[in-house]
């Protein structure tokens, strides 16, 4: 799998809601930083490094908004209590006695205005620092966040209390103007909500931590016939490493000595250990179950497969689903809208309520306005999509299903057609030579020509022929080698011109055999081959059909072989003998009618994969096919991950819709209730604190939900 471009990842501290992430992205975009993605759920940002914008430059831009920035480290320790939790415990210490005065007789010392002020002051001070810093940063970025509302609501209650205390000091009426407990309770409850939210959000990003943990450990390195232990990050390309039974494969590499059974289930979903022998590739992070091998490191650090999987999970929000754009737009205007409602509530609530003869609980218009400020919650809207996407993509990644961004999840959930390539996708890709018929020339020489031609092709049939003929073939010096995708391959050998391919390599050939070898445009041999279906192909196709998705076969193979396969599997439609341009044309037609996925593995499938609504390929597909795909299934010998990918996508989209329904419904219902005077500001703060926790909790439910 090849990375599209080098992305730098950074950790951002101090984001308190989705608007913070939107504000940072807007600020970085405005300053010319390329490919910016800011993920509030994981508290991370990514961007493309350029000469003008390296890590230090972007760090300065973010810090100018008031946020802290540091590099991501897998070694970061988690303290027993976070700074946020310490702030909550500190404010709770003063808020409990301040709040309890409401339940005590009026002659209690806790009713003393000065004592209430003294108890409220440290809580208000913490609230001003915590919410004020975030509020200022959001205003500076041009996207005011929830903390602007919290700061305004708590500050209004605090200064209104001071005003009433000064104006009515010594008068019994003073208690009607003291709302110090409201100030302290709002701040403490919102901090409690932040603590619960922070803990919950961590649960949505466990996939990154679990995948990162796979990379940690010690490797045994061979140096001058001596073995020394080194950490994974000290390994270099071409280092020789020794791996014994029970050890973790340190990095991606190839076997240069020995053989072993390796468990790759944690990355590919293949439950049965795979036997690895000389020259075969091994994946870093997988476990050697039995045997002993030496490997030569081929990919280290960020080039390892596990690193690229982590990057895909981290970039889950890079391609945002269309559905998220709705909440992003609403979040951008939400705070000014709520401020307007609060102002209107203060000035007009009494006249409106009396006009409709509503018997409200809260008579004071000031308290109603404060309640409107503190109960509104843009946070839930900002968290609805990214938390679900993080959980969905993380869960898929641990099943060996790689999804390139949240937009892929959304598109995959809406697929109505899946178009399957045949060779190497539905079949094993391993072909046996059924018969080689020699019409002219020595059999050994003809087979050597076939071998030397086909070894220059990446097509599954060519690779299988090479594997079948390798043992007895002679090396020949071919020149002017040329491959025409979907047709065949040709080359010069001494004074002769050889071609091998299907009947398309010549107009005079009939469609009676699988492959033809031509010498100077004359047929000298033909080859009949046979391939086999992957063991779960029929089961998987039936599962796809049960999801209400049409299955379509689109193959370059002969009509007879496609029809034979259709007799077993019963596709909705079959298109045989399709060239790459034909495949592209068919995909265009299907996409114009319904969302369509293309499932292929070869170079000739790349255009169709790119054109489809969603391109799907398998882990051993050609590099260009993988680059053209949106979904990569790492299991190479089975198709069972396909329906799992569809189920993850559908349940993730369902979770997003549930989250957004709750987030919008909560605000649509809660704000009018507060404006009408049916909700005390303290209750409003409590409901607001838990509204986003409900959204996150629903996303976490996706992590454990039985969807397969």
Residues 501 and 543 in one domain: no
Of 465, 499, 532, the position where a domain reaches its end is 532
The sign of the dihedral angle between the CA atoms of 566, 569, 574, 577 is negative
Instruction: State residue 358's pLDDT score.
Output: 62
Res. 1 pLDDT band, cuts 50 70 90:
very low
User: How many domains does the structure of the chain reveal?
Assistant: 3
Instruction: State residue 704's pLDDT score.
Output: 86
Torsion on CA atoms 500, 504, 507, 513, rounded to nearest 10: 70
Mean pLDDT of 221-239: 80
Would you say residue 491 has pLDDT above 90?
yes
Q: Note whether residue 170 is domain-resident.
A: no
Continuous H helices in 302-364: 305-314, 322-355
Residues 422 and 561 in one domain: yes
Of 265, 293, 321, the position where a domain reaches its end is 293
CATH number of the CATH domain containing 517: 3.40.1110.10
Q: Note whether residue 308 is domain-resident.
A: no
What gap in Å lies between CA 434 and CA 377, rounded to an integer?
68
State the DSSP string of 271-312.
-S-EEE-TT-EE-TT-EEEEEEEEEEEEE-GGGSHHHHHHHH
Residues 507 and 592 in one domain: no
CATH number of the CATH domain containing 562: 3.40.50.1000
Residues 556 and 492 in one domain: no
Res. 266 pLDDT band, cuts 50 70 90:
low
Of 577, 612, 647, the position where a domain reaches its end is 612
Residues 456 and 580 in one domain: no
Q: Note whether residue 160 is domain-resident.
A: no
Residues 543 and 526 in one domain: no
Residues 460 and 595 in one domain: no
Higher pLDDT, 645 or 484: 645
Res. 205 pLDDT band, cuts 50 70 90:
low
Would you say residue 247 has pLDDT above 70?
yes
First to last CA, the chain: 26
Q: Note whether residue 521 is domain-resident.
A: yes
Q: Which two tokens stand for residue 524?
A: 């000298």
**Is the entire prediction scored with pTM above 0.85?**
no
Q: Which two tokens stand for residue 55?
A: 């890590």
Q: Note whether residue 479 is domain-resident.
A: yes
Q: Could you read off the pLDDT of 28-77 as tens digits, one per residue?
A: 888 888 888 787 767 778 788 777 778 788 888 888 887 888 766 554 55
Residues 538 and 516 in one domain: no
Would you say residue 27 has pLDDT above 80?
yes
Residues 437 and 499 in one domain: yes
Mean pLDDT of 691-708: 84
**φ, ψ dihedrals at 186, nearest 5°:** -60, -50
What gap in Å lies between CA 487 and CA 475, rounded to an integer?
24
Residues 486 and 561 in one domain: no
What gap in Å lies between CA 185 and CA 179, rounded to an integer?
10
Average pLDDT, the chain: 82
DSSP H or E segment with residue 656: helix 641-675
356-to-360, 368, 370, 676 alpha-carbon distances in Å: 11, 17, 22, 11
Q: Note whether residue 260 is domain-resident.
A: yes
Return the exposure string of 99-123: e unless at least 16 CB atoms fall within 10 Å of the residue's CB, then b: bebeeeeeeeebbebebbbebbeeb
Q: How many CA atoms lie within 13 A of 413 on its CB side?
A: 21
DSSP H or E segment with residue 586: helix 580-593
Residues 550 and 593 in one domain: yes
**φ, ψ dihedrals at 90, nearest 5°:** -65, -50
Would you say residue 646 has pLDDT above 90?
yes
Residues 489 and 471 in one domain: yes
Q: Note whether residue 344 is domain-resident.
A: no
User: Domain range spanning residue 457?
Assistant: 429-532
Mean pLDDT of 565-574: 89
Cite the active site residues.
421
Q: Could you read off the pLDDT of 82-131 as tens digits, one per residue?
A: 888 899 999 999 999 988 877 778 778 888 888 999 999 999 999 999 88
Q: Note whether residue 178 is domain-resident.
A: no
């Amino acid at each position: 799998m090849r990375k599209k471009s080098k992305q730098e990842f950074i950790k951002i501290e101090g984001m308190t809601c989705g608007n913070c992430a939107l504000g940072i992205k807007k600020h970085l975009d405005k300053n010319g930083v390329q490919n910016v993605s800011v993920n509030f759920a994981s508290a991370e940002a990514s961007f493309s490094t350029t000469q003008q914008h390296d890590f230090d430059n972007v760090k300065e831009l973010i810090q100018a908004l008031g946020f802290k920035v540091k590099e991501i480290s897998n070694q970061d320790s988690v303290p027993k209590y976070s700074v946020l939790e310490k702030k909550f415990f500190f404010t709770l210490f003063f808020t409990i006695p301040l709040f309890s005065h409401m339940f005590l007789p009026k002659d209690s010392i806790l009713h003393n205005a000065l004592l209430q002020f003294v108890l409220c002051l440290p809580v208000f001070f913490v609230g001003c620092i915590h919410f004020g810093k975030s509020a200022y940063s959001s205003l500076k970025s041009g996207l005011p966040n929830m903390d602007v509302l919290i700061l305004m609501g708590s500050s209004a209650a605090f200064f209104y209390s001071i005003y009433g205390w000064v104006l009515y000091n010594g008068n019994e009426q003073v208690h009607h103007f003291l709302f110090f407990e409201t100030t302290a309770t709002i701040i403490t409850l919102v901090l409690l909500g932040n603590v619960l939210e922070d803990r919950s959000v961590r649960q949505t990003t466990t996939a990154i931590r679990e995948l990162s943990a796979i990379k940690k450990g010690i490797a045994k390195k061979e140096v001058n016939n001596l073995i020394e232990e080194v950490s994974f990050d000290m390994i270099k390309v071409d280092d020789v490493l020794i791996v014994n039974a029970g050890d973790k494969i340190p990095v991606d590499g190839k076997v240069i000595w020995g053989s072993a059974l390796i468990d790759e289930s944690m990355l590919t979903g293949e439950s049965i250990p795979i036997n690895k022998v000389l020259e075969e590739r091994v994946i870093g992070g997988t476990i050697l179950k039995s045997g002993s091998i030496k490997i030569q490191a081929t990919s280290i650090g960020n080039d390892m497969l596990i690193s690229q999987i982590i990057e895909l999970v981290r970039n889950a929000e890079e391609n945002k689903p269309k559905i998220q754009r709705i909440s992003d737009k609403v979040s951008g205007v939400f705070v000014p809208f709520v401020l307007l409602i609060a102002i209107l509530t203060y000035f007009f609530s009494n006249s409106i309520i009396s006009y409709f003869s509503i018997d409200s609980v809260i008579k004071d218009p000031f308290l109603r306005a404060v309640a409107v400020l503190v109960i509104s919650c843009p946070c839930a809207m900002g968290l609805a999509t990214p938390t679900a996407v993080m959980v969905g993509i993380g869960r898929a990644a641990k099943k060996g299903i790689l999804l390139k961004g949240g937009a892929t999840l959304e598109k995959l959930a809406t697929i109505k057609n899946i178009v399957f390539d045949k060779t190497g996708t539905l079949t094993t890709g391993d072909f046996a030579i059924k018969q080689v018929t020699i019409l002219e020339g020595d059999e050994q020489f003809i087979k050597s020509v076939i071998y030397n031609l086909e070894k220059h092709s990446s097509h599954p049939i060519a690779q299988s022929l090479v594997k079948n003929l390798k043992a007895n073939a002679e090396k020949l010096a071919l020149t002017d080698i040329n491959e025409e995708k979907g047709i065949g391959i040709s080359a010069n050998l001494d004074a002769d011109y050889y071609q091998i391919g299907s009947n398309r390599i010549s107009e005079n050939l009939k469609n009676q055999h699988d492959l033809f070898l031509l010498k100077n445009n004359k047929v000298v041999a033909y080859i009949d081959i046979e391939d086999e279906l992957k063991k779960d192909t029929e089961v998987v196709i039936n599962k796809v059909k049960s999801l209400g998705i049409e299955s379509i076969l689109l193959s370059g193979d002969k009509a007879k072989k496609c029809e034979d396969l259709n007799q077993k599997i019963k596709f909705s439609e079959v298109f045989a003998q399709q060239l790459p341009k034909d495949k592209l044309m068919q995909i265009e037609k299907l996409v114009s009618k319904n969302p369509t996925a293309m499932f292929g593995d070869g170079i000739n499938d790349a255009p169709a994969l790119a054109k489809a609504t969603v391109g799907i390929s398998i882990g051993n597909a050609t590099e260009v096919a993988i680059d053209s795909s949106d979904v990569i299934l790492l299991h190479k010998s089975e198709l069972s991950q396909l329906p799992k990918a569809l189920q993850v996508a559908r349940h993730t989209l369902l979770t997003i819709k549930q989250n957004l329904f709750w987030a919008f419904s909560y605000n649509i219902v809660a704000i009018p209730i507060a404006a009408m005077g049916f909700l005390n500001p303290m209750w409003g703060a409590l409901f607001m604190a838990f509204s986003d926790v409900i959204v996150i909790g629903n996303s976490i439910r996706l992590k454990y939900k039985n969807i397969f």
